[in-house]
Structure formats: structure tokens, C-alpha cells
Amino acid sequence: MERPLIFVTNDDGVGASGLRTMIDVARKVGRVIVVAPEDAQSGMSHAITMTRPLYLRRVREEEGLEVYACAGTPVDCVKLAFDYLLKEEPALILSGVNHGSNSAVSVLYSGTMAAAIEGSSYGIPSIGFSVTDHDPTADFGDYRDYIGRIVDQVMAATITLPFCLNVNIPNVSPAEIAGIRACRQARGFWREEFEKRCDPRGRDYFWLTGSFQNMEPDAQDTDEWALQHNYISVVPIQVDLTSYPQLERIGDWRF
């Protein structure tokens, strides 16, 4: 029987170290096709490219592995793969391994997770992986066993579609990892501190830098709590943004 097809993408770009780890894990499970952005696309969220054309380049091809680069966003990569390139439906979508946390509300800004969410809308189970380590050169190979364990579980399970997981791994040695926990997204927000500078032409400019404010640090069922206690957090993700409690409240408004 032919091995299953695994689709791989990321947001750190086709040259990222985390992508190599993702490909390594995927190759243990099946044949692999990668479409990743040419350049780093961190913080690109669910952005799509509407005003520029997209180029697609074959980077590498060998037994059981094809790698393409797309000069667009992570979501562009998924769309181009699923609506143009792929001749066969993959069994699984893997996004990452991202250099930096995508827990809590960061899921909204994340290109890694946007690619996974977009992929799940094609009716394929998808998983986004991130490590809470922003170093772009970090080697995540040590986490391969944990990542593989989650991938195997999803491949073996009876899945209700759509299905998308946001997996975050704490930046500690594998021996220190306390386990894997299914969680909900912690409530919180990013507060920015804009660093103001002056360019050589005398114009002020700003660098965006921020810190996450956890609104429920003691809630043990959240991804933030899990990560702070050395657990790998696994949050199932949906695309319905409707606030049903608010819908009930405004249902009787008279406009």
C-alpha cells in the first residue's frame, strides 16, 4: 500500500531550521510535499496576496519528498497547494515548527497557525507546531519524538472534521517536559511598547515590541498555564468567530 501523503508548510520560510524538523517527522509517516514561503512571514496571520502575482519555485525533489517555495504568505502557500499544485488529497497537514510561541491570542497573529487553520478548511486534519524559542537558528530536532507522538495520535484517531490543533512546546530540554495537555486558549492580550527612533533623514519611526498580558494566570485548563508548567499545550481550533453569548444579548436590540 502506498504511504500516506503529508503536506508541510510554515511561516518562517523555506530555509528555516524548524521546517527541517517538521519534514523529518513527516517523512517518518509518509510521502511529503512542502510548499513554504520564500521568505520569513512571521506575524502575517491569515493575510492573502491580492495585489501581486504569486511565483512558485521547485526547490528540491527526491524519493518521497518534493519542496516548493512560494513568494507569498503562508495562507497563499496552502491555497496554491490545494487549489493548484496537489494532484492527490493529503492525509494530514503539518505547519511549523515555528520559532516562537503561538499560544493564547498569538494564534490570531500567527502565520503558522493561519496556514494550519486554512488547511483544515479543506477538510484535512491539520496541526501547527511551535516552540517558545524565537531564535531563528534554534534546532528543534530534540523535540521530534514528542512531535511524532502527537502526529501518530492524530493519524490513528477517528477524527471529526474540521480538525485543527495548535501545539506549543515549552523551551526546555525534552527530559524536563512534564507531558502533553489538551487545553483551551488563555484569555489575554499583547500590550505594545513602541520604541521611537529618528531616521538619518530626521523622520521619527517606531519599532513594535510588546509583552503578553495573561488575564487568567491561575487557570489550569489554559495553554499558558500548561507551558509555564513545562507541559506541551494542545488547543483544538475552530474558524467560527461568532460570540454566541453576545449574539444572545443583542438578539432583542431594536435598530
Least distance between a copy of itself and beta carbon 159 (Å)? 9
C-beta closer to a copy of itself: residue 31 or 34? 34
The DSSP bridge partners found for residue 127 are: 94, 165
- Cα 160 to Cα 120, 124, 182: the distances in Å are 11, 10, 16
Cβ atoms of residues 9 and 34 within 8 Å: yes
Least distance between a copy of itself and beta carbon 1 (Å)? 25
Place of cell 480538525: 163
| Per-residue x/- track, 47-86, a copy of itself (CB under 8 A) | xxxxx-xxxx------------------xx--xx--xx--
Least distance between a copy of itself and beta carbon 64 (Å)? 25
Residues 140-159 that bind a copy of itself (CB under 8 A): 149-150, 153, 157
C-beta closer to a copy of itself: residue 17 or 121? 121
112 lines the binding site for a copy of itself (CB under 8 A): no
What burial class does residue 48 get, using C-beta atoms within 10 Å of its C-beta: 0-12 exposed, 13-18 middle, 19+ buried? middle
- Vertex 163 angle, CA 146 and 212, to 5°: 65
Least distance between a copy of itself and beta carbon 200 (Å)? 12
133 lines the binding site for a copy of itself (CB under 8 A): no
Altogether, the residues listed in the chain come to a count of 255
For the chain, state the CA radius of gyration: 19
251 lines the binding site for a copy of itself (CB under 8 A): yes
Cβ atoms of residues 199 and 205 within 8 Å: yes
Residue of 16, 22, 77, 117 that binds a copy of itself (CB under 8 A): 117
Largest interatomic CA distance in the chain: 66
C-beta closer to a copy of itself: residue 140 or 188? 188
Residues 214-243 that bind a copy of itself (CB under 8 A): 234-243
Least distance between a copy of itself and beta carbon 212 (Å)? 12
